[in-house]
Structure 1
Amino acid sequence: MRTRIAIAGGGLGGLTLARILHQHGIETVVYDREASRSARPQGGALDLHPESGQLALAQAGLAGRFRSEARPDGEEHRILDPTGRMLVHHEPEPGSFSGRPEIDRSALRDLLLDSLPGDTVVWGHRLVAATPRPDGGWDLTFHGGHRVSCDTLIGADGARSVVRSLLTDVQLFYVATLVELTIDDVERRHPDLAELVGPGNMWCVGVNQILAAQRLGDGSLRVGISLRAEGRPLDTYRSKRALLNVFAGWDPRLTALIEAAESAPTPRLIETMPIGTRWTGRPGVTLIGDAAHLMPPVGEGANQAMLDAAELASQLAANTADPNSAIRAYEESMFSRIHPIAEMSARVQAMMLSPTAAEDIARFFTRPAEPVHAD
């Protein structure tokens, strides 16, 4: 089977791209490695920025549906020190969508999936290889041996993209460790923690470490622990007792976020691509999102992936006779746009996990600039 445009990866970027192309009458096939749309949790909430994520949804014709799912009060942000002292308390205007309202990743992904024809996403297809065809285009091989071909391949397949290797051999580098836990039904089971965190995000900032919590639309709390890159094995952080030792001496009201978690700690490495990563264009293939510009998770990743999708879709729709010219125009624009955003994200990441993080972050969030929320 040969398809015109194949998208590897059914995350927010890949689905936004498929939706906007569908709006222009350009059908695609999205190949996703997961067995189904509900095969795994989609993570926490994210704040969609008006100039990127929200703009992409508007181009996708989904702004109204976004407003029905988003939570403006989720933009509230509290920053504390290890004693529990409030350093910053950002409260959005009640009910306003003028800022960066929060939406659960699962809700946003469902919104995008529901906007596509039912056969757009092909589940259970993990791309393992793409080889150029003599007549142009690509032969795609998936885990298990299934093969298809396409004219244009777009890699929306995330941090460890298979498609990226067709364009660049850039290496990822480790910048931090993130450990995640979950507290369910927080209002009923842990009202003190619900009050501590509030309706949005809370960060407790110490020396080279952050204990954060985020309210989700289903009434749960997603707890995230960020630690400076030290090269310790991930297994070091797979028990709550080990995590409590990391935060020894902190106010017990804060470490109660770890003790109350029902889930076992899930640690993972945070990796990024070098700032300024570019590649020489190649016919019939390009990248969007983390596959193109993996950055620290400080609020830009999903937003920029969705904007990538909108800009690439616009170029492809405007130049259907010459998709390679469309890809080249998209890539040059994307490289220029991402460079300062990647620099800013790296600075914020370094600031968050530093010996003077509490003071630096308080200054950052109280200066006349828009806040940057965690992914």
Structure 2
Amino acid sequence: MTISIIGAGPGGLTCARILQKHGIPVTVYDRDPHPHARNQGGTIDLHADDGQLALREAGLLDEFFALARPEGQEMRKLDPAGNLLEHHVPDEGELFRPEIDRGRLRDLLLDSLEPGTVRWGRALDKVDGSRLSFMDGTTVETDLVIGADGAWSRVRPAVSSAVPEYAGITFLEAWFDDVENAHPELSALVGQGSAMAADGDRCLFAQRNGGDHIRVYIVQRLPVDWVGAGDTPELRTRLLDTFSGWAPKMLRMITDNDGPYIDRPLFVLPVPHTWEHSPTVTLLGDAAHLMPPLGVGANLAMLDACELALALAGSVTIGDAVAAYEKTMLPRSVEMARQLENGAEGLLDLD
């Protein structure tokens, strides 16, 4: 069989790794020109009942634990004055959902693949039956296309007319570097994991990353184009006005960031999102079920990838494998999407 995966994220790479473990050839195509062309994002927690299951099947669980940060499971809930309301400190040896930086996870998966598995600089244009057409004018014939290319998937239109919709919530990302030396007050406030505070309309969510970094997400209910063309000083002034009344030590998450803010409006797929079975095209991860970023996205993508790879390894035909995979994946993702529908609004709630 000839299998083509579009997208070298956690889901696509996990699928490729497990397929290769079962002796099945696979090629991954990614639009980035090289593995380190862009920042891969912040930290994610991989759960014992999905993301870690996929890594165990991939033979990479021990390597993951060597890189992960169990102390990142610490969680602090604050009020706008900076008072500690709730505090979860992980037990010694607790490994249910340790944190790992996305870049480290991606490197772990990439290094586990056979040389040449990922073809960089191959931006997909469209899928037509079993033919892949790329932006550079080249085409590839394949037996199966796996769309692991995220929210704005170029594979999805081959099986579904659904498009992501703005959820009404926006995350403005702020980076803090060398936090122990340059931002010691913020470091002490956040701890080794995450800290969040909300007042019903606004939320500050801070996550410690590896390498002495912290990322803060400024969460608000705003129009999708609210940022406009404003520069960082102008945005900072607007944010300070919005968060007036919050304690100065909390406002450091807004005022002391290193570099510009990054606007990340939240988009989701309609619920439920399903499609008619195709024996030559299927989807996994955000391409299949884009949900609010509440700790399930990467985990579900990796679980999808694991189940699809095992189905391909154990079925007589590709069509049988895809049907078996979708029979489990689609109901699970629909149920989870219903549970999380409008879930980003909950980040703003006092409770």
Q: TM-score range by the shorter chain?
A: over 0.9
Whole-Å separation in 2 of the counterparts to 1:27 and 1:255: 52
Would the aligned equivalents of 1:73 and 1:95 in 2 still touch at CA under 8 Å?
Answer: no
2:311 is aligned with 1:318: no
How many angstroms does 1:93 deviate by? Answer: 0.8
How many angstroms does 1:213 deviate by? Answer: 1.0
Residue correspondence of structure 1 range 37-76 to structure 2 within 5 A: 37-76=35-74
Whole-Å separation in 2 of the counterparts to 1:209 and 1:324: 47
How many angstroms does 1:350 deviate by? Answer: 2.5
Moved more, 150-159 or 245-254: 245-254
Would the aligned equivalents of 1:72 and 1:94 in 2 still touch at CA under 8 Å?
Answer: no
**SS of 2:298 mapped into structure 1:** helix
Amino acid at match of 1:51: D
Whole-Å separation in 2 of the counterparts to 1:237 and 1:225: 16
2:325 is aligned with 1:327: no
Q: Name the structure 2 match of 1:252.
A: 248
2:333 equivalent among 338, 341, 350: 338
Q: Name the structure 2 match of 1:266.
A: 262
2:270 is aligned with 1:278: no
Q: Name the structure 1 match of 2:26.
A: 28
Would the aligned equivalents of 1:283 and 1:324 in 2 still touch at CA under 8 Å?
Answer: yes
Whole-Å separation in 1 of the counterparts to 2:55 and 2:319: 25
Q: Name the structure 2 match of 1:83.
A: 81
Say if 1:323 and 1:237 are closer, same or farther in 2 by CA, change over 3 A: farther
Whole-Å separation in 1 of the counterparts to 2:337 and 2:171: 19
2:91 is aligned with 1:93: yes
1:148 equivalent among 134, 140, 155: 140
How many angstroms does 1:96 deviate by? Answer: 2.6
Q: Name the structure 1 match of 2:343.
A: 348
Whole-Å separation in 2 of the counterparts to 1:237 and 1:339: 38
Give the structure-1-normalised TM-score: 0.90
How many angstroms does 1:192 deviate by? Answer: 1.0
Cα-to-partner distance string for 1:233-262 (whole Å, 9 max, x where unaligned): 332775322222221211110111221111
1:123 equivalent among 120, 125, 128: 120
Whole-Å separation in 1 of the counterparts to 2:134 and 2:255: 42
Would the aligned equivalents of 1:179 and 1:237 in 2 still touch at CA under 8 Å?
Answer: no
Whole-Å separation in 1 of the counterparts to 2:110 and 2:257: 30
Whole-Å separation in 1 of the counterparts to 2:157 and 2:222: 26
Identical aligned residues as a percent: 44
**SS of 2:146 mapped into structure 1:** strand
Whole-Å separation in 1 of the counterparts to 2:32 and 2:65: 28
How many angstroms does 1:269 deviate by? Answer: 1.5
Residue correspondence of structure 1 range 5-24 to structure 2 within 5 A: 5-24=3-22
Q: Name the structure 2 match of 1:199.
A: 192
How many angstroms does 1:205 deviate by? Answer: 1.1
2:152 equivalent among 160, 182, 197: 160
Would the aligned equivalents of 1:208 and 1:352 in 2 still touch at CA under 8 Å?
Answer: no
Amino acid at match of 1:56: A
Extract unaligned runs of 5+ from structure 2: none
1:243 equivalent among 239, 242, 252: 239
Cα-to-partner distance string for 1:207-250 (whole Å, 9 max, x where unaligned): 22211111111111111111114344332775322222221211
**SS of 1:254 mapped into structure 2:** helix
Cα-to-partner distance string for 1:178-204 (whole Å, 9 max, x where unaligned): 111111000011111110000111112
Say if 1:106 and 1:225 are closer, same or farther in 2 by CA, change over 3 A: same
Residue correspondence of structure 1 range 228-239 to structure 2 within 5 A: 228-235=221-228, 238-239=231-232
Q: Name the structure 1 match of 2:204.
A: 211
Whole-Å separation in 1 of the counterparts to 2:14 and 2:201: 36
Would the aligned equivalents of 1:32 and 1:126 in 2 still touch at CA under 8 Å?
Answer: yes
Q: Name the structure 1 match of 2:165.
A: 173
Give the structure-2-normalised TM-score: 0.96
Would the aligned equivalents of 1:46 and 1:299 in 2 still touch at CA under 8 Å?
Answer: yes
Cα-to-partner distance string for 1:333-352 (whole Å, 9 max, x where unaligned): 00121122212222532322
Q: Name the structure 1 match of 2:219.
A: 226
Cα-to-partner distance string for 1:82-138 (whole Å, 9 max, x where unaligned): 1112222111013432x2111111111100000001200001111011112xxxxx2
Say if 1:238 and 1:292 are closer, same or farther in 2 by CA, change over 3 A: farther
Would the aligned equivalents of 1:237 and 1:265 in 2 still touch at CA under 8 Å?
Answer: no
Would the aligned equivalents of 1:234 and 1:268 in 2 still touch at CA under 8 Å?
Answer: no
Number of equivalences: 347
Extract unaligned runs of 5+ from structure 1: 133-137, 361-375
How many angstroms does 1:171 deviate by? Answer: 2.6
Q: What do you get for the CA RMSD once the two structures are aligned?
A: 1.4
Would the aligned equivalents of 1:159 and 1:294 in 2 still touch at CA under 8 Å?
Answer: yes
Q: Name the structure 2 match of 1:368.
A: none
Amino acid at match of 1:322: T
